[in-house]
């Protein structure tokens, strides 16, 4: 693995996760109470002994940069490095990244300086646990130019993915990006695996460094849409089947559903794996306080205060404060970046502004409350099936879910 460069793509504007991406990039979006999405590929790289890791960033990247620098620093005795490659204007290029392949092309000078033999290209917004050592070894054993991580999927999941066919020697023989035509789908369908008859690309690749250089010279913009279909005709492109849990957290609805699944007893992803923990920023927070409260199916992070409240089927993030007689259900609370002092709370009262957190007697169901939001007392946020999308100054409705953006204020007595 000393010959492998881990290259994490920081993502574009993340419009499908808006307003969570209004002030941050997709990989910086909080996950499961205390993590960020970028922590998943970073932890997988560290567990696989990948010493050289680069993260390509562009949109709203300030918070992601802070998180990387405060979390993944290497000491002077470590052989590797973690490097941020931000989009920039240079004599060779004056525009932004136009796609995944274009982003790598624009940073080629830095990438080749890593001196690696293999480049492992990863997405920054997926949830999974993979041992990349097995992935890279399979690439070597197959004598492949490019190896694609693939997963069996059901018919209803095919529309948003790239699907492919593999021969008996694991070589990919055909590929289609997000196919919609039933006749085309039939060509890729397996007749032996009826529950998951299609193989889908996970958007994770191993390239030989020299092969990566060659395909980038062809000026293609995107790996999945452009480079992969073209390379199948010219090079040995193979598939590595991954049967573990994997989720592309690309929409508000999937973000909401996956987070709430983490609070279930049978959560599909194990954050409690002692042999492969998910790393994140080390915080020095007290244990959470829970007094006379009723909690069920709750994933509770550090530093929270819940007094005389009811919380069910929720993710409760760092430093969350839930007031007396509040009732919170099927909701993601991302918490706060700070605690307010007594003086600050007194100022809030003078300004008729709620404290950070959920105020007394509020009822919230089916919502995402972003960091540092102020939910007043006697607020009602209701779940309404088929609620139309809408954006106001302090809340957004998207895919039937109410999102209160970072730092937003919901005054006392508001009904949404």
**Strand 390-391, strand 396-398: pairing:** antiparallel
Domains of the chain: 4-261 (3.90.550.10), 289-410 (2.160.10.10)
Query: At 188, is the pLDDT very low, low, confident or very high (cuts 50, 70, 90)?
Result: very high
Say whether pLDDT at 47 is over 60.
Answer: yes
Asked whether the CA dihedral 261, 266, 272, 273 is positive or negative, the reply is negative
For residues 38-43, give the mean pLDDT. 97
Neighbours of 335 (CB within 10 A): 26
Q: What is the pLDDT of residues 259-303, one digit of tens each?
A: 999 999 999 999 999 999 999 999 999 999 999 999 999 999 999
Indicate the helix (H) or strand (E) that contains 35.
strand 35-36
Q: What is the pLDDT of residues 56-74, one digit of tens each?
A: 988 778 889 999 999 998 8
- C-alpha distance from residue 257 to each of 246, 253, 290, 332 (Å): 14, 6, 25, 10
User: Rounded to whole angstroms, how far apart are CA atoms 36 and 249?
Assistant: 12
């Amino acid at each position: 693995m000393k010959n492998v460069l881990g290259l994490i793509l920081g993502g574009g504007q993340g419009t499908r996760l808006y307003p969570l991406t209004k002030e941050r990039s997709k990989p910086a979006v909080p996950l499961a109470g205390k993590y960020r999405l970028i922590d998943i590929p970073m932890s997988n790289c560290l567990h696989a002994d990948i010493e050289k890791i680069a993260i390509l960033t562009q949109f709203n990247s300030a918070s992601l940069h802070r998180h990387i620098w405060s979390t993944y620093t290497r000491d002077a005795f470590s052989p590797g490095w973690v490097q941020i490659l931000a989009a920039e204007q240079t004599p060779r290029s004056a525009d932004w990244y136009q796609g995944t392949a274009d982003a790598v092309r624009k940073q080629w000078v830095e990438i080749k300086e890593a001196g690696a033999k293999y480049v492992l290209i990863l997405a920054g917004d997926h949830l999974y646990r993979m041992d990349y050592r097995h992935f890279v070894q399979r690439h070597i054993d197959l004598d492949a130019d490019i190896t694609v991580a693939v997963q069996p999927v059901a018919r209803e999941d095919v529309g948003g993915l790239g699907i492919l066919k593999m021969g008996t020697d694991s070589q990919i023989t055909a590929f289609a990006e997000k196919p919609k035509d039933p006749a085309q789908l039939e060509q890729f369908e397996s007749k032996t695996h009826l529950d998951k008859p299609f193989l889908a690309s996970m958007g994770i690749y191993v390239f030989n460094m020299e092969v990566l250089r060659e395909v980038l010279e062809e000026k293609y913009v995107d790996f999945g849409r452009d480079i992969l279909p073209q390379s199948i005709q010219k090079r040995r492109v193979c598939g590595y089947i991954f049967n573990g849990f994997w989720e592309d957290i690309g929409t508000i609805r999937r973000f909401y559903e996956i987070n709430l699944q983490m609070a279930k007893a049978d959560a599909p992803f194990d954050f409690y794996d002692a042999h492969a923990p998910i790393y994140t920023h080390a915080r020095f927070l007290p244990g959470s306080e829970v007094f006379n409260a009723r909690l069920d199916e709750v994933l509770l992070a550090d530093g929270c205060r819940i007094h005389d409240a009811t919380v069910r089927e929720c993710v409760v993030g760092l430093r969350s404060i839930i007031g007396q007689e509040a009732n919170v259900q099927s909701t993601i609370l991302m918490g706060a970046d700070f605690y307010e002092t007594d003086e600050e709370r007194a100022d809030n009262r003078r300004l008729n502004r709620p404290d950070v957190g959920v105020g007394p007697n509020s009822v919230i169901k089916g919502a995402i409350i972003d960091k540092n939001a102020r939910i007043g007392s006697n607020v009602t946020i209701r779940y309404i099936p088929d609620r139309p999308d809408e954006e106001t100054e302090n809340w957004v409705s998207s895919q039937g879910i109410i999102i209160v953006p970072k730092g937003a204020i919901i005054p006392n007595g508001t009904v949404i």
